[in-house]
Amino acid sequence: MVVNLITPQELRRLRKKAGLTQKELAKRAGISQSLIARIERGTVDPRLSTLRKIINVINEVLGEKKFLARHIMSSPVISLDANDTVEKAIELMWKYGISQLPIFQNKKLIGSIREESILSKIKDEKIENLLNKKVYDLREEPFPVINAETSIEEVGKILLSGKPAVLVEENGKIVGIITKIDLIAKQFIK
């Protein structure tokens, strides 16, 4: 039977992912910092019991780390005023590579506009008329607003329920936006 153990490079990567210094990891595992350094350099093969202590500490710390909405939100929020035109919405979507925008009126969230809703109107109207319309006239329901301390698991549930985005609020102010790609990319692309 062949048992694949963790490599020194993998151990270093996991320690850093957990946000631990060698000294912190050593203290929590009850071993010396110099032993951690030698293990990560590959100059010493630790006993299985020592390796288990190290891995248990890393897993414990990684389990403690909760990722919150504030960690994955995009900021600042690109938005529209109710009196802006559809042409401006298209320009912003193109410029920032986004497909939906929240709409505000007097600093109050009143709706949203998505590229899909604009496209659906093109077949019914002349493009010139559509471009000059106010986004207020094409607005859809506002994106849900969540607190910056909301867990990414909860954000995922909201987005998977069919909502295209969520807005992140802190101290009564919209400070960020999260879309499905934010949820995916910020967890897997470092």
Q: pLDDT at residue 2 above 50?
A: no
Hey, what are 96's tokens? 């920032």
Q: pTM for this one?
A: 0.64
pLDDT > 70? residue 188: no
Phi-psi region of 120 (alpha: psi -120 to 50; beta: other; left: phi over 0): alpha
Q: Is the pLDDT confidence value at 1 over 50?
A: no
DSSP secondary structure letter of residue 67: -
Query: Which residue ranges form the domains of the chain, and what is each CATH number?
Result: 8-64 (1.10.260.40), 69-188 (3.10.580.10)
- pLDDT tens figures, 101-148: 999 999 999 999 999 999 988 888 888 899 999 999 999 999 999 999
Residues 6+ positions from 116 with CB-CB distance below 8 Å: 99
Report whether the peptide linkage leading into residue 142 is cis, meaning its omega lies within 30 degrees of zero. no
